[in-house]
Protein backbone atom coordinates (compact mmCIF):
# COMPACT_ATOMS: atom_id res chain seq x y z
CA UNK A 1 0.00 0.00 0.00
CA UNK A 2 2.81 2.43 0.87
CA UNK A 3 4.46 1.90 -2.52
CA UNK A 4 1.13 2.41 -4.25
CA UNK A 5 0.48 5.69 -2.46
CA UNK A 6 4.06 6.86 -2.71
CA UNK A 7 4.10 7.25 -6.49
CA UNK A 8 2.03 9.09 -9.05
CA UNK A 9 -1.46 7.75 -9.72
CA UNK A 10 -1.83 5.04 -12.34
CA UNK A 11 -5.38 4.84 -13.63
CA UNK A 12 -7.38 2.28 -15.58
CA UNK A 13 -10.42 4.08 -16.99
CA UNK A 14 -13.31 1.83 -17.99
CA UNK A 15 -16.03 3.20 -20.23
CA UNK A 16 -16.33 6.89 -21.09
CA UNK A 17 -13.10 7.96 -22.80
CA UNK A 18 -13.58 11.59 -21.80
CA UNK A 19 -12.42 10.83 -18.26
CA UNK A 20 -9.20 9.31 -19.60
CA UNK A 21 -8.51 12.33 -21.82
CA UNK A 22 -8.91 14.70 -18.87
CA UNK A 23 -6.58 12.63 -16.71
CA UNK A 24 -3.96 12.39 -19.46
CA UNK A 25 -4.16 16.14 -20.04
CA UNK A 26 -3.25 16.61 -16.37
CA UNK A 27 -0.25 14.33 -16.54
CA UNK A 28 -1.71 11.15 -15.11
CA UNK A 29 -0.73 7.74 -16.43
CA UNK A 30 -3.97 6.26 -17.75
CA UNK A 31 -5.01 3.20 -19.71
CA UNK A 32 -8.36 3.37 -21.48
CA UNK A 33 -10.55 0.24 -21.61
CA UNK A 34 -13.50 0.53 -23.96
CA UNK A 35 -16.53 -1.11 -22.36
CA UNK A 36 -20.26 -0.77 -22.53
CA UNK A 37 -23.04 -2.58 -20.66
CA UNK A 38 -24.31 -5.68 -22.50
CA UNK A 39 -26.63 -4.74 -25.34
CA UNK A 40 -30.34 -5.27 -24.91
CA UNK A 41 -30.01 -6.98 -28.29
CA UNK A 42 -27.77 -9.69 -26.85
CA UNK A 43 -30.50 -12.32 -27.13
CA UNK A 44 -31.28 -11.31 -30.70
CA UNK A 45 -27.61 -11.53 -31.65
CA UNK A 46 -27.40 -14.93 -30.00
CA UNK A 47 -30.39 -16.11 -32.04
CA UNK A 48 -28.46 -15.32 -35.23
CA UNK A 49 -25.64 -17.69 -34.29
CA UNK A 50 -27.55 -20.52 -35.94
CA UNK A 51 -27.28 -18.60 -39.20
CA UNK A 52 -23.67 -17.55 -38.69
CA UNK A 53 -22.29 -19.72 -41.48
CA UNK A 54 -24.80 -18.43 -44.04
CA UNK A 55 -24.26 -14.83 -42.91
CA UNK A 56 -20.48 -15.13 -43.12
CA UNK A 57 -20.73 -16.69 -46.58
CA UNK A 58 -23.06 -13.90 -47.73
CA UNK A 59 -20.77 -11.24 -46.30
CA UNK A 60 -17.83 -12.83 -48.10
CA UNK A 61 -19.76 -12.48 -51.35
CA UNK A 62 -20.63 -8.87 -50.55
CA UNK A 63 -16.97 -8.11 -49.87
CA UNK A 64 -15.96 -9.88 -53.07
CA UNK A 65 -18.19 -7.53 -55.05
CA UNK A 66 -17.17 -4.41 -53.13
CA UNK A 67 -13.42 -5.07 -53.16
CA UNK A 68 -13.51 -6.31 -56.74
CA UNK A 69 -14.99 -3.06 -58.05
CA UNK A 70 -13.25 -1.16 -60.85
CA UNK A 71 -14.62 2.40 -60.63
CA UNK A 72 -13.78 4.82 -63.45
CA UNK A 73 -14.77 8.44 -63.87
CA UNK A 74 -15.99 8.31 -67.47
CA UNK A 75 -18.32 11.20 -68.32
CA UNK A 76 -20.29 14.29 -67.36
CA UNK A 77 -23.84 14.65 -68.67
CA UNK A 78 -26.92 16.75 -67.99
CA UNK A 79 -28.91 15.18 -65.15
CA UNK A 80 -32.12 14.95 -67.17
CA UNK A 81 -30.32 12.82 -69.80
CA UNK A 82 -29.12 10.40 -67.14
CA UNK A 83 -32.25 10.33 -64.96
CA UNK A 84 -35.29 10.57 -67.19
CA UNK A 85 -37.70 11.33 -64.34
CA UNK A 86 -35.99 14.69 -63.82
CA UNK A 87 -37.09 15.78 -67.30
CA UNK A 88 -40.53 14.24 -66.98
CA UNK A 89 -41.70 16.22 -63.92
CA UNK A 90 -40.73 18.87 -61.41
CA UNK A 91 -38.56 16.56 -59.35
CA UNK A 92 -35.78 17.56 -56.95
CA UNK A 93 -33.47 14.95 -55.49
CA UNK A 94 -31.93 15.51 -52.06
CA UNK A 95 -29.51 13.87 -49.66
CA UNK A 96 -30.48 11.22 -47.14
CA UNK A 97 -33.59 9.08 -46.75
CA UNK A 98 -37.06 10.29 -47.89
CA UNK A 99 -38.25 13.58 -46.43
CA UNK A 100 -41.24 15.88 -46.96
CA UNK A 101 -40.98 19.66 -47.24
CA UNK A 102 -42.60 20.19 -43.83
CA UNK A 103 -39.72 18.42 -42.05
CA UNK A 104 -36.83 19.85 -44.04
CA UNK A 105 -34.14 21.75 -42.14
CA UNK A 106 -33.10 25.32 -42.92
CA UNK A 107 -30.16 24.68 -45.28
CA UNK A 108 -32.10 22.04 -47.22
CA UNK A 109 -35.06 24.39 -47.67
CA UNK A 110 -32.70 27.14 -48.77
CA UNK A 111 -31.06 24.88 -51.34
CA UNK A 112 -34.45 23.69 -52.63
CA UNK A 113 -35.62 27.27 -53.14
CA UNK A 114 -32.42 28.15 -54.95
CA UNK A 115 -32.78 25.09 -57.18
CA UNK A 116 -36.35 26.05 -58.09
CA UNK A 117 -35.21 29.50 -59.19
CA UNK A 118 -32.22 27.97 -61.01
CA UNK A 119 -34.56 25.72 -62.99
CA UNK A 120 -36.90 28.61 -63.83
CA UNK A 121 -39.90 27.18 -61.99
CA UNK A 122 -40.27 30.38 -59.94
CA UNK A 123 -39.13 33.95 -60.40
CA UNK A 124 -37.63 34.47 -56.94
CA UNK A 125 -36.97 32.72 -53.64
CA UNK A 126 -40.28 33.72 -52.05
CA UNK A 127 -42.23 32.29 -54.97
CA UNK A 128 -40.03 29.19 -54.88
CA UNK A 129 -40.81 28.60 -51.22
CA UNK A 130 -44.53 28.98 -51.88
CA UNK A 131 -44.32 26.50 -54.76
CA UNK A 132 -42.53 23.91 -52.61
CA UNK A 133 -44.91 24.39 -49.67
CA UNK A 134 -48.03 23.78 -51.76
CA UNK A 135 -46.67 20.59 -53.31
CA UNK A 136 -45.66 21.99 -56.67
CA UNK A 137 -42.43 20.00 -56.60
CA UNK A 138 -41.85 16.32 -55.85
CA UNK A 139 -38.94 15.34 -53.63
CA UNK A 140 -36.99 12.07 -53.56
CA UNK A 141 -33.63 10.83 -52.28
CA UNK A 142 -30.65 10.77 -54.62
CA UNK A 143 -30.10 7.12 -53.70
CA UNK A 144 -33.43 6.17 -55.30
CA UNK A 145 -32.06 7.22 -58.68
CA UNK A 146 -28.51 5.91 -58.59
CA UNK A 147 -27.03 9.18 -57.37
CA UNK A 148 -25.49 10.83 -54.32
CA UNK A 149 -24.91 14.44 -53.32
CA UNK A 150 -22.91 16.21 -50.59
CA UNK A 151 -24.61 18.08 -47.70
CA UNK A 152 -28.06 19.15 -49.00
CA UNK A 153 -27.38 16.96 -52.04
CA UNK A 154 -29.66 18.88 -54.41
CA UNK A 155 -29.89 17.36 -57.89
CA UNK A 156 -32.11 18.84 -60.63
CA UNK A 157 -32.61 18.29 -64.34
CA UNK A 158 -30.18 20.93 -65.65
CA UNK A 159 -27.19 20.19 -63.46
CA UNK A 160 -24.19 18.37 -64.92
CA UNK A 161 -23.61 15.02 -63.21
CA UNK A 162 -20.36 13.10 -63.12
CA UNK A 163 -20.66 9.45 -64.11
CA UNK A 164 -18.60 6.79 -62.34
CA UNK A 165 -18.80 3.41 -64.05
CA UNK A 166 -17.97 0.23 -62.13
CA UNK A 167 -16.46 -1.78 -64.98
CA UNK A 168 -16.28 -4.97 -62.92
CA UNK A 169 -20.04 -5.15 -62.38
CA UNK A 170 -21.53 -3.01 -65.15
CA UNK A 171 -23.29 -0.48 -62.90
CA UNK A 172 -22.84 3.27 -62.59
CA UNK A 173 -23.33 6.01 -59.99
CA UNK A 174 -23.85 9.75 -60.40
CA UNK A 175 -22.95 12.89 -58.48
CA UNK A 176 -23.02 16.64 -59.01
CA UNK A 177 -19.79 18.59 -59.49
CA UNK A 178 -18.35 20.09 -56.32
CA UNK A 179 -19.09 23.83 -56.38
CA UNK A 180 -16.05 24.91 -54.40
CA UNK A 181 -15.83 26.63 -51.05
CA UNK A 182 -17.69 29.57 -49.57
CA UNK A 183 -21.38 30.19 -50.16
CA UNK A 184 -22.61 27.20 -52.15
CA UNK A 185 -25.89 25.36 -52.68
CA UNK A 186 -24.71 22.22 -50.92
CA UNK A 187 -24.60 24.26 -47.68
CA UNK A 188 -27.93 25.96 -48.37
CA UNK A 189 -26.69 28.94 -50.41
CA UNK A 190 -29.17 30.36 -52.92
CA UNK A 191 -28.16 33.91 -53.86
CA UNK A 192 -27.20 35.30 -57.27
CA UNK A 193 -23.54 34.29 -56.88
CA UNK A 194 -24.51 30.69 -56.14
CA UNK A 195 -26.87 30.50 -59.11
CA UNK A 196 -24.32 32.11 -61.44
CA UNK A 197 -21.71 29.51 -60.48
CA UNK A 198 -24.21 26.70 -61.10
CA UNK A 199 -24.99 28.19 -64.51
CA UNK A 200 -21.27 28.23 -65.37
CA UNK A 201 -20.91 24.60 -64.31
CA UNK A 202 -23.90 23.76 -66.50
CA UNK A 203 -22.99 25.78 -69.57
CA UNK A 204 -19.20 25.70 -69.70
CA UNK A 205 -17.31 23.60 -67.20
CA UNK A 206 -19.52 20.50 -67.23
CA UNK A 207 -19.57 20.09 -71.02
CA UNK A 208 -15.80 20.65 -71.18
CA UNK A 209 -15.07 18.09 -68.47
CA UNK A 210 -17.41 15.59 -70.10
CA UNK A 211 -15.73 15.99 -73.47
CA UNK A 212 -12.31 15.55 -71.89
CA UNK A 213 -13.33 12.34 -70.15
CA UNK A 214 -14.91 10.90 -73.28
CA UNK A 215 -11.85 11.70 -75.35
CA UNK A 216 -9.47 10.06 -72.88
CA UNK A 217 -11.56 7.01 -72.01
CA UNK A 218 -11.89 8.07 -68.38
CA UNK A 219 -9.80 7.95 -65.22
CA UNK A 220 -9.30 4.84 -63.06
CA UNK A 221 -10.17 5.89 -59.51
CA UNK A 222 -9.07 2.96 -57.36
CA UNK A 223 -5.32 3.45 -57.92
CA UNK A 224 -5.72 7.20 -57.54
CA UNK A 225 -7.27 6.76 -54.08
CA UNK A 226 -4.51 4.34 -53.09
CA UNK A 227 -1.96 7.06 -53.85
CA UNK A 228 -4.02 9.70 -52.10
CA UNK A 229 -4.03 7.67 -48.89
CA UNK A 230 -0.22 7.71 -48.88
CA UNK A 231 -0.26 11.49 -49.40
CA UNK A 232 -2.45 12.46 -46.45
CA UNK A 233 -6.03 12.26 -47.79
CA UNK A 234 -8.95 10.37 -46.24
CA UNK A 235 -11.35 11.44 -49.05
CA UNK A 236 -14.01 13.11 -46.94
CA UNK A 237 -12.69 16.24 -45.26
CA UNK A 238 -9.27 16.14 -46.94
CA UNK A 239 -9.07 15.72 -50.72
CA UNK A 240 -6.02 17.86 -51.50
CA UNK A 241 -3.87 15.04 -52.88
CA UNK A 242 -6.59 13.27 -54.85
CA UNK A 243 -7.81 16.55 -56.36
CA UNK A 244 -4.24 17.26 -57.49
CA UNK A 245 -3.78 13.75 -58.86
CA UNK A 246 -7.08 13.96 -60.73
CA UNK A 247 -6.17 17.34 -62.19
CA UNK A 248 -2.88 15.89 -63.41
CA UNK A 249 -4.74 13.03 -65.06
CA UNK A 250 -7.33 15.33 -66.66
CA UNK A 251 -5.09 18.18 -67.81
CA UNK A 252 -3.91 16.66 -71.13
CA UNK A 253 -7.42 15.78 -72.28
CA UNK A 254 -8.80 19.12 -71.07
CA UNK A 255 -6.12 20.85 -73.12
CA UNK A 256 -7.02 18.68 -76.13
CA UNK A 257 -10.74 19.52 -76.14
CA UNK A 258 -10.60 23.04 -74.65
CA UNK A 259 -8.85 26.30 -75.40
CA UNK A 260 -8.52 29.91 -74.39
CA UNK A 261 -10.32 31.45 -71.47
CA UNK A 262 -12.68 28.51 -70.89
CA UNK A 263 -9.75 26.12 -70.47
CA UNK A 264 -8.01 28.53 -68.11
CA UNK A 265 -11.14 28.89 -66.01
CA UNK A 266 -11.58 25.11 -65.84
CA UNK A 267 -8.01 24.46 -64.73
CA UNK A 268 -8.13 27.29 -62.18
CA UNK A 269 -11.43 26.02 -60.79
CA UNK A 270 -10.18 22.49 -60.14
CA UNK A 271 -6.80 23.69 -58.84
CA UNK A 272 -8.45 26.17 -56.48
CA UNK A 273 -10.96 23.72 -55.00
CA UNK A 274 -9.32 21.33 -52.55
CA UNK A 275 -12.60 19.46 -52.15
CA UNK A 276 -13.17 18.87 -55.87
CA UNK A 277 -12.49 15.14 -55.51
CA UNK A 278 -15.06 14.64 -52.73
CA UNK A 279 -17.99 14.31 -55.14
CA UNK A 280 -16.00 11.89 -57.28
CA UNK A 281 -15.26 9.77 -54.20
CA UNK A 282 -18.96 9.75 -53.30
CA UNK A 283 -20.02 8.44 -56.71
CA UNK A 284 -17.19 5.92 -56.50
CA UNK A 285 -18.51 4.76 -53.13
CA UNK A 286 -22.02 4.21 -54.42
CA UNK A 287 -20.74 2.40 -57.52
CA UNK A 288 -18.81 0.01 -55.26
CA UNK A 289 -21.61 -0.68 -52.77
CA UNK A 290 -24.63 -0.99 -55.06
CA UNK A 291 -23.62 -4.43 -56.41
CA UNK A 292 -23.93 -5.77 -52.83
CA UNK A 293 -27.60 -4.78 -52.55
CA UNK A 294 -29.98 -7.70 -52.35
CA UNK A 295 -27.51 -10.39 -51.23
CA UNK A 296 -29.60 -12.65 -48.99
CA UNK A 297 -28.22 -13.14 -45.47
CA UNK A 298 -25.62 -10.37 -45.79
CA UNK A 299 -25.36 -7.91 -42.88
CA UNK A 300 -23.07 -5.49 -44.73
CA UNK A 301 -24.24 -1.86 -44.74
CA UNK A 302 -24.67 -0.61 -48.30
CA UNK A 303 -25.56 3.05 -47.62
CA UNK A 304 -25.45 5.63 -44.86
CA UNK A 305 -27.05 9.03 -45.52
CA UNK A 306 -28.47 12.06 -43.69
CA UNK A 307 -30.98 14.72 -44.72
CA UNK A 308 -30.51 17.10 -41.79
CA UNK A 309 -33.47 15.60 -39.93
CA UNK A 310 -33.07 11.82 -40.23
CA UNK A 311 -30.14 9.45 -40.54
CA UNK A 312 -30.77 6.38 -42.68
CA UNK A 313 -28.97 3.15 -43.50
CA UNK A 314 -29.50 0.34 -45.97
CA UNK A 315 -28.32 -3.24 -45.49
CA UNK A 316 -27.41 -5.71 -48.25
CA UNK A 317 -29.93 -8.41 -47.35
CA UNK A 318 -32.74 -5.89 -46.89
CA UNK A 319 -32.39 -4.26 -50.30
CA UNK A 320 -33.63 -0.70 -50.71
CA UNK A 321 -35.42 -0.44 -47.36
CA UNK A 322 -34.37 2.49 -45.16
CA UNK A 323 -33.88 2.27 -41.40
CA UNK A 324 -33.94 5.72 -39.88
CA UNK A 325 -33.49 7.59 -36.61
CA UNK A 326 -33.13 11.28 -35.71
CA UNK A 327 -29.78 12.57 -36.96
CA UNK A 328 -27.24 13.68 -34.39
CA UNK A 329 -25.29 16.91 -34.03
CA UNK A 330 -21.66 16.85 -35.18
CA UNK A 331 -18.96 17.59 -32.62
CA UNK A 332 -16.11 19.70 -33.91
CA UNK A 333 -14.51 23.08 -34.43
CA UNK A 334 -16.29 26.22 -35.60
CA UNK A 335 -15.14 29.08 -37.77
CA UNK A 336 -14.66 32.41 -35.95
CA UNK A 337 -17.96 33.94 -34.92
CA UNK A 338 -19.93 30.67 -34.86
CA UNK A 339 -20.71 28.05 -32.23
CA UNK A 340 -22.71 24.86 -31.72
CA UNK A 341 -25.80 27.02 -31.19
CA UNK A 342 -25.64 27.99 -34.88
CA UNK A 343 -25.16 24.47 -36.23
CA UNK A 344 -27.54 22.27 -38.15
CA UNK A 345 -27.69 18.54 -37.40
CA UNK A 346 -25.55 16.39 -39.68
CA UNK A 347 -26.53 16.27 -43.35
CA UNK A 348 -25.47 14.74 -46.67
CA UNK A 349 -24.96 11.55 -48.68
CA UNK A 350 -21.20 11.81 -48.18
CA UNK A 351 -21.18 9.15 -45.42
CA UNK A 352 -21.07 6.72 -48.36
CA UNK A 353 -17.28 7.16 -48.24
CA UNK A 354 -17.14 5.86 -44.66
CA UNK A 355 -19.20 2.88 -45.78
CA UNK A 356 -16.34 1.90 -48.15
CA UNK A 357 -13.62 2.44 -45.55
CA UNK A 358 -12.60 6.05 -46.23
CA UNK A 359 -13.31 9.25 -44.28
CA UNK A 360 -13.18 8.66 -40.53
CA UNK A 361 -12.41 4.98 -41.13
CA UNK A 362 -9.16 6.01 -42.87
CA UNK A 363 -8.30 8.92 -40.58
CA UNK A 364 -4.96 7.32 -39.72
CA UNK A 365 -3.88 8.20 -43.26
CA UNK A 366 -4.76 11.87 -42.75
CA UNK A 367 -3.74 13.03 -39.26
CA UNK A 368 -4.08 16.67 -40.35
CA UNK A 369 -7.83 16.06 -40.57
CA UNK A 370 -8.02 15.09 -36.91
CA UNK A 371 -7.07 18.62 -35.92
CA UNK A 372 -9.37 20.20 -38.50
CA UNK A 373 -12.42 18.31 -37.24
CA UNK A 374 -11.50 18.70 -33.58
CA UNK A 375 -10.64 15.04 -33.00
CA UNK A 376 -7.15 15.59 -31.56
CA UNK A 377 -3.81 14.60 -33.09
CA UNK A 378 -2.05 11.69 -34.73
CA UNK A 379 -2.76 9.20 -31.95
CA UNK A 380 -6.46 10.00 -32.05
CA UNK A 381 -6.52 9.68 -35.84
CA UNK A 382 -4.97 6.21 -35.59
CA UNK A 383 -7.42 5.39 -32.81
CA UNK A 384 -10.42 6.18 -34.97
CA UNK A 385 -9.24 3.88 -37.75
CA UNK A 386 -8.49 1.10 -35.30
CA UNK A 387 -11.85 1.46 -33.56
CA UNK A 388 -13.74 1.46 -36.87
CA UNK A 389 -11.93 -1.73 -37.92
CA UNK A 390 -13.79 -3.48 -35.11
CA UNK A 391 -17.05 -2.80 -36.96
CA UNK A 392 -16.07 -4.13 -40.37
CA UNK A 393 -15.87 -7.48 -42.12
CA UNK A 394 -12.44 -7.06 -43.72
CA UNK A 395 -9.73 -4.67 -44.88
CA UNK A 396 -9.18 -3.42 -48.40
CA UNK A 397 -5.65 -4.48 -49.33
CA UNK A 398 -5.77 -2.23 -52.40
CA UNK A 399 -5.98 0.83 -50.13
CA UNK A 400 -3.19 0.47 -47.53
CA UNK A 401 -2.58 3.03 -44.78
CA UNK A 402 1.14 3.63 -44.08
CA UNK A 403 0.57 4.60 -40.42
CA UNK A 404 -1.10 1.24 -39.81
CA UNK A 405 1.88 -0.74 -41.13
CA UNK A 406 0.18 -0.65 -44.54
CA UNK A 407 -2.91 -2.47 -43.34
CA UNK A 408 -5.85 -1.86 -45.67
CA UNK A 409 -8.73 0.46 -44.92
CA UNK A 410 -11.44 -1.18 -42.76
CA UNK A 411 -14.26 -2.02 -45.17
CA UNK A 412 -17.74 -3.50 -45.01
CA UNK A 413 -19.60 -2.27 -41.93
CA UNK A 414 -21.21 -5.31 -40.31
CA UNK A 415 -24.62 -4.62 -38.82
CA UNK A 416 -24.02 -7.25 -36.14
CA UNK A 417 -20.73 -5.77 -34.98
CA UNK A 418 -22.20 -2.29 -34.58
CA UNK A 419 -25.06 -3.56 -32.41
CA UNK A 420 -22.88 -6.01 -30.48
CA UNK A 421 -20.22 -3.43 -29.57
CA UNK A 422 -22.54 -0.46 -29.21
CA UNK A 423 -19.95 1.59 -31.11
CA UNK A 424 -21.53 3.86 -33.72
CA UNK A 425 -19.70 4.44 -37.01
CA UNK A 426 -17.85 7.77 -37.06
CA UNK A 427 -18.24 10.19 -39.95
CA UNK A 428 -16.02 13.14 -40.86
CA UNK A 429 -18.28 15.99 -41.86
CA UNK A 430 -18.71 19.65 -42.61
CA UNK A 431 -21.04 21.66 -40.38
CA UNK A 432 -23.74 23.81 -41.96
CA UNK A 433 -25.49 26.77 -40.36
CA UNK A 434 -29.02 25.88 -39.29
CA UNK A 435 -30.42 28.80 -41.31
CA UNK A 436 -30.62 28.89 -45.07
CA UNK A 437 -28.12 30.85 -47.15
CA UNK A 438 -25.39 31.16 -44.48
CA UNK A 439 -23.22 28.21 -45.50
CA UNK A 440 -20.49 26.20 -43.81
CA UNK A 441 -19.54 27.24 -40.29
CA UNK A 442 -17.17 24.46 -39.23
CA UNK A 443 -16.13 20.82 -39.48
CA UNK A 444 -16.32 17.90 -37.12
CA UNK A 445 -17.17 14.28 -36.47
CA UNK A 446 -20.68 12.89 -36.33
CA UNK A 447 -21.88 9.48 -35.22
CA UNK A 448 -24.48 7.32 -36.89
CA UNK A 449 -27.40 6.74 -34.48
CA UNK A 450 -27.31 3.23 -33.07
CA UNK A 451 -31.10 3.05 -33.38
CA UNK A 452 -30.79 2.68 -37.18
CA UNK A 453 -28.66 -0.43 -36.78
CA UNK A 454 -30.85 -1.87 -34.04
CA UNK A 455 -33.96 -1.50 -36.21
CA UNK A 456 -32.18 -3.09 -39.14
CA UNK A 457 -30.94 -6.01 -37.04
CA UNK A 458 -34.48 -6.70 -35.81
CA UNK A 459 -35.75 -6.62 -39.39
CA UNK A 460 -32.89 -8.85 -40.52
CA UNK A 461 -33.75 -11.40 -37.85
CA UNK A 462 -37.43 -11.37 -38.89
CA UNK A 463 -36.62 -11.74 -42.59
CA UNK A 464 -36.14 -15.50 -42.33
pLDDT digits (tens, 9 = 90+) for 259-306: 999 999 999 999 999 999 999 999 999 999 999 999 999 999 999 999
Does the pLDDT at position 463 exceed 90? no
Query: 59 in the Ramachandran plot: left (φ > 0), alpha (ψ -120 to 50) or beta?
Result: alpha
The span from the CA of 56 to the CA of 34, in Å, is 26
If pLDDT is split at 50, 70 and 90, which confidence band does 373 have? confident
Q: How confident is the model at residue 5 (pLDDT cuts 50, 70, 90)?
A: low
For residue 19, pLDDT over 80 is answered with: no
Residue 17 pLDDT: 64
Q: What are phi and psi of 84, to 5 degrees?
A: -60, -30
The tens digit of pLDDT for each residue in 301-346 reads 999 999 999 999 999 999 999 999 999 999 999 999 999 999 999 9
Position 260 scores a pLDDT of 97
Contact between residue 155 and residue 92 where contact means Cβ atoms under 8 Å apart: yes
Q: What percent of the chain has pLDDT over 70?
A: 94
DSSP 321: -
Please tell me the least confidently modeled range out of 33-47, 375-389, 390-404, 437-451: 33-47
pLDDT computed for residue 12 by the predictor: 85
- C-alpha closest to that of 459 among 356, 317, 359: 317
| Under 8 Å between Cβ of 269 and 160 | no
Q: What is the mean pLDDT of residues 433-459?
A: 95
Determine the pLDDT at residue 22.
60
Residue 391 has pLDDT above 90, yes or no: yes
- Name which of 5-14, 94-103, 157-166, 314-323 the model is least confident about: 5-14
User: Does position 34 have pLDDT exceeding 70, yes or no?
Assistant: no
Residue 166, CA distances (Å) to 218, 219, 259, 426 in order: 12, 12, 31, 26
Distance CA 186, CA 275 (A): 12
| Span 63-86, average pLDDT | 98
Contact 428, 415 (CB under 8 A): no
Q: What is the pLDDT of residues 175-213, one digit of tens each?
A: 999 999 888 999 999 999 999 999 999 999 999 999 999
State the pLDDT confidence band at 26, using cuts at 50, 70 and 90: low
In the prediction, which pLDDT does 286 show? Answer: 98
Query: pLDDT band at residue 375, thresholds of 50, 70 and 90?
Result: confident
pLDDT of residue 281: 98
**Pair 107, 153: CB distance under 8 Å:** no
Mean pLDDT, residues 394-401? 97
pLDDT given at position 27:
64
CB 127 within 8 A of CB 139: no
Amino acid sequence: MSSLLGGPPRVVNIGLAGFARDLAANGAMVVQVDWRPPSRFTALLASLEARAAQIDEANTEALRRILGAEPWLVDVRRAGELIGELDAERLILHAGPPLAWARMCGPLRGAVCGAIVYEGWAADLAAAEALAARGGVRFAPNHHYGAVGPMTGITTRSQPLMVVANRAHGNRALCTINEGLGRVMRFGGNDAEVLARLAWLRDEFGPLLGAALRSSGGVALGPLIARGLTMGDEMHQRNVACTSLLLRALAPSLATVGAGASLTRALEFIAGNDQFFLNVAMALGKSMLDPARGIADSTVVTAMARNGSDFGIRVAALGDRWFTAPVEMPQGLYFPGYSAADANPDIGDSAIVEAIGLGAFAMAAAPAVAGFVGAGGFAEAVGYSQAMSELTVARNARWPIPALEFAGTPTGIDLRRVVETGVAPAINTGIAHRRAAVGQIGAGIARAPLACFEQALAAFADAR
